[in-house]
């Protein structure tokens, strides 16, 4: 038996944020397959992954990045 959209949504909301993001990517790709990247972007992505894997670069959590951006905006706008 197929689950209703509401049931699937409720189940999906029980997943972690990372799992929901992965699911969202899968669902979007099923509707509209991604366009191929230019070779230069493929090379840049591979370089960045290698830098993270080797420890030359370190990922920054998005929450930290967004908090820093909000702080900069507030500093410059006074809000």
Side-chain half-sphere of 59: how many Cα atoms within 13 Å?
A: 9
pLDDT, mean of residues 4-10: 93
What confidence score (pLDDT) does residue 44 get?
97
Instruction: Find all residues with CB under 8 Å of 23, minimum gap 6, and list them.
Output: 12, 15
**Domain span holding position 29:** 5-77
Query: Whole-angstrom Cα distance, residue 26 to residue 12?
Result: 13
> How many domains in the chain?
1
Rounded-to-integer distance, Cα 15 and Cα 25, Å: 14
What is the tens place of the pLDDT at every residue in 20-74?
999 999 999 899 877 889 999 999 999 999 999 999 999 999 999 999 999 999 9
């Amino acid at each position: 038996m197929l689950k209703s959209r509401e049931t699937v949504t409720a189940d999906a909301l029980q997943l972690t944020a990372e799992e929901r993001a992965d699911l969202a990517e899968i669902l979007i790709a099923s509707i509209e397959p991604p366009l191929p990247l230019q070779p230069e972007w493929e090379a840049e992505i591979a370089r960045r992954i290698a830098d993270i894997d080797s420890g030359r670069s370190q990922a920054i959590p998005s929450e930290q990045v967004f908090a820093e951006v909000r702080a900069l905006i507030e500093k410059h706008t006074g809000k």
